[in-house]
Structure 1
Amino acid sequence: LLFSAHGVSPEIRKSAQARKLHALDATCPLVTKVHLEAIKYAKAGYTIILIGHEGHDEVLGTMGEAPEAIVLVEDENDVDRLEFESGTQLAYLTQTTLSVDDAGRVIRRLRERFPEIHSPPKDDICYATQNRQEAVKLLRADANVVVVLGSQNSSNSQRLRELAAEQGKRALLVDGPQDLAADQFSSDDTVLITAGASAPESVVQSTIEWLQNNFDATVDTQVVREEDVQFPLPKPLRAFAAEQAASK
């Protein structure tokens, strides 16, 4: 059983243990950070306002850490409907894959309504999510079409598509080149290719090859941010890799 990068609630972990399943925990460390923050604030007696999308896997996992202490909001209207007893200690956390702009608007409204609200010492939104959003904002003006590689249920991929569409660009969210058709492009299009934070590099490269094969496309790579963050494999996989290396 693989726990995905979005993370899971403690109840899911307990269920896996009860069924004696062999579980590999691939939860993103940035998501784990939010889980730990939720536990810390809940133990300290805070009511936590979680900014995120209802039903998203990551939100379900985070809320499962302290279900009685967490209130979910999606936008400023939700914030305006919040009511708490006088003296309630408040803190906010965010889903890691939100639009930076959307989250910023909700946070500003929270601070307006609840000036004493606490926040984590470091931003919760994933650095990879932020970098890709920044790149689309900077580069979309030069493109006719924006192709976002990612799943339809990927929050950060949907945010990239929305950012591109904000400027009236034709924005396509696809799993890979198999979802593209030649009649979606013309030979004089400038196509911006980006990808959700979890999309494999092989999918990016196969999409570039598809455009080259079908339109003789030329490639211009532009760097907006260098990423050098490295996350270790889950412990069982590291142990397995060490055993394989030793056996050779």
Structure 2
Amino acid sequence: MKILLANPRGFCAGVNMAIECLERALEFFGPPVYVYHEIVHNKHVVNRFVHRGVEFVDSIDEVPEGSPLLYSAHGVSPEIRARSRARKLLAIDATCPLVTKVHLEAIKYAKAGYTIVLIGHEGHDEVIGTMGEAPEQIILVETAEDVQKLEIEDPEKVAYLTQTTLSVDDANVVIAALREKFPSINNPPKDDICYATQNRQGAVRELAARADLVLVLGSQNSSNSRRLAEIALTMGVPSRLIDGVAEIRPEWFDGVETVLITAGASAPEDVVQECVDYLQRTYGASVENAVVREEDVHFPLPKSLRELIAGGEPPATLARS
């Protein structure tokens, strides 16, 4: 058996920044540190932080007044920020800068009087946060069929934005439908789908044709991980989205000579290596490091956290439950 190890794979700059934020906050404040929603959509990352005293919450009301609270990499709405201020929480914004870019675009278009069509998945944390920037002016669509149902009062004043973790191919189908229905539709000068999402999808498109099976490391609620598995399937290559080696089934490998292994942008590298080690032990697999593109993007820690750490010690008013 041969393993094609896709590169790039795994953690992106936004995930690295968010995880470093939480690491530094734990060191600075000590547990508990609270996070609004999962810091990233990965079971292993979340469980490891839970064991270290991080509490993930789905409501601001669950956070004791005055406590440290991180906003996850997916971003939050202005309403959540306002409720955090009302509870005097020490908010640390770990939102990925590429998600922040979409929020700022939504604000800009809303102020200019546009109806904004957001292409994304209903209920995803990122979509909820973006829509919260201008709830009266943003309409969510997922498919080209959704576009056909749109009725917009001023079709000359329409703009579109996209969730950062979409399938590029799927998004392009919806964008084409929007351009057909609204020929004068406006869009940001730079694509909203993030570099890491595009790079990981591009690697799967290039490498999957050489494989008999694709293993994608990532959690089921990770949008970008699901897209990687879907791309391989659309190419006619069997694909499995798994959280780790414990989910691997021997019957998947009947007749399989080459396995492509990749990972979503929130999947840790150690879970990838555990799967590689398993296939090497079980099938004597060799490994080819298949580099499609190099990445060197880095995001600094947010200013709010840097300023807290520079102060030298947690505020005296810090609440502890």
Q: Closer, same or farther in 2 for the Cα pair 1:192/1:87, shift >3 Å? A: closer
What is the CA-CA distance between 1:239 and the residue it aligns to?
4.8
1:8 to 64, 72, 76: 76
| 1:142-188 C-alpha deviation (Å, 9 max, x unpaired) | 11111111110111111111111113322111112222234432485
What is the CA-CA distance between 1:24 and the residue it aligns to?
2.4
**Counterparts of residues 129-168 of structure 1 (less than 5 Å):** 129-168=197-236
CA distance in 2, matches of 1:151, 1:178: 13
Question: Which of structure 1's runs of 4+ aligned residues deviate more than 4 A?
Answer: 239-244
CA distance in 2, matches of 1:198, 1:154: 8
What's the TM-score, normalizing by structure 1?
A: 0.91
Q: Give 1:116's aligned amino acid.
A: S
Question: Counterpart in 2 of 1:22?
Answer: 90
* Secondary structure of 2:100's aligned partner: helix
Worse-superposed segment, 217-226 or 187-196: 187-196
Matched, 1:210 2:269: no
1:96 to 164, 170, 174: 164
Q: Closer, same or farther in 2 for the Cα pair 1:81/1:187, shift >3 Å? A: closer
Q: Give 2:176's aligned amino acid.
A: R
Matched, 1:118 2:164: no
Q: Is the 8 A contact 2:224 2:265 kept in 1?
A: yes
Worse-superposed segment, 126-135 or 2-11: 2-11
CA distance in 2, matches of 1:4, 1:58: 9
* Secondary structure of 1:191's aligned partner: strand
| Higher fraction of strand | 2
CA distance in 2, matches of 1:183, 1:26: 41
The root-mean-square deviation of aligned C-alpha atoms, in Å, is 1.9
Matched, 1:38 2:106: yes
What is the CA-CA distance between 1:2 and the residue it aligns to?
2.3
The structure with higher relative contact order (CA 8 Å, sep 6+) is: 2
Question: Counterpart in 2 of 1:190?
Answer: 258
* Secondary structure of 1:221's aligned partner: strand
Q: Is the 8 A contact 1:47 1:88 kept in 2?
A: no
CA distance in 1, matches of 2:212, 2:96: 34
Q: Is the 8 A contact 1:54 1:72 kept in 2?
A: yes
1:221 to 279, 282, 289: 289
Matched, 1:82 2:150: yes
**Counterparts of residues 38-77 of structure 1 (less than 5 Å):** 38-77=106-145
Question: Counterpart in 1 of 2:43?
Answer: none
**Structure 2: where are the runs of 5+ without partners?**
1-68, 313-321
Identity, in percent, stands at 66
CA distance in 2, matches of 1:5, 1:212: 34
Q: Give 1:210's aligned amino acid.
A: Y
Worse-superposed segment, 20-29 or 152-161: 20-29
Q: Is the 8 A contact 1:3 1:26 kept in 2?
A: yes
Q: Is the 8 A contact 1:174 1:180 kept in 2?
A: yes
Worse-superposed segment, 52-61 or 211-220: 211-220
Q: Is the 8 A contact 1:76 1:109 kept in 2?
A: yes
What is the CA-CA distance between 1:87 and the residue it aligns to?
5.8
Aligned length: 244
